[in-house]
């Protein structure tokens, strides 16, 4: 057998292993998502983040410290719903 075909076999084996690792990660993420558990750890205390819906927006809440984490744009979405609040006026204030 030539070196070339040996290399090719090795590469295919390596690719198959990498693909299986990615599939396993996707499986874990999908199972966690269906159970309402985020795959991310709390950046403050390393607790588990659980997804909750607040005012129709998905937020991540830590089961250990109670911290609430918002994805990009979610705070703005929440504030736009209550545009009369002091925090909303402060957040969207110009200057």
Which residues make up the interface to Zn ion (CB under 5 A)?
Answer: 42, 44-45, 47, 62, 64-65, 67
HSE (side-chain half, CA atoms, 13 Å) at 78: 15
Residue closer to Zn ion (CB basis): 12 or 64: 64
CB of 48 to Zn ion, least distance (A): 9
Handedness of CA 45, 47, 50, 52 (dihedral sign): negative
CB of 1 to Zn ion, least distance (A): 55
- Tell me the C-alpha distance between 69 and 54, whole Å: 12
Contact (Cβ atoms closer than 8 angstroms) between residue 13 and residue 26: no
CB of 65 to Zn ion, least distance (A): 3
Residue closer to Zn ion (CB basis): 74 or 79: 74
């Amino acid at each position: 057998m030539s070196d070339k075909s040996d290399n090719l076999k090795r590469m295919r084996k390596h690719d198959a292993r990498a693909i299986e690792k990615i599939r396993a990660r996707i499986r874990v993420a999908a199972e966690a998502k269906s159970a309402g558990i985020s795959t991310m750890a709390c950046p403050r205390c390393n607790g588990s983040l659980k997804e909750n819906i607040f005012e129709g927006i998905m937020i991540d809440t830590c089961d250990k410290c109670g911290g609430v984490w918002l994805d990009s744009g979610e705070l703005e979405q929440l504030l736009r719903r209550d545009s009369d609040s002091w925090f909303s006026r402060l957040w969207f204030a110009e200057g």
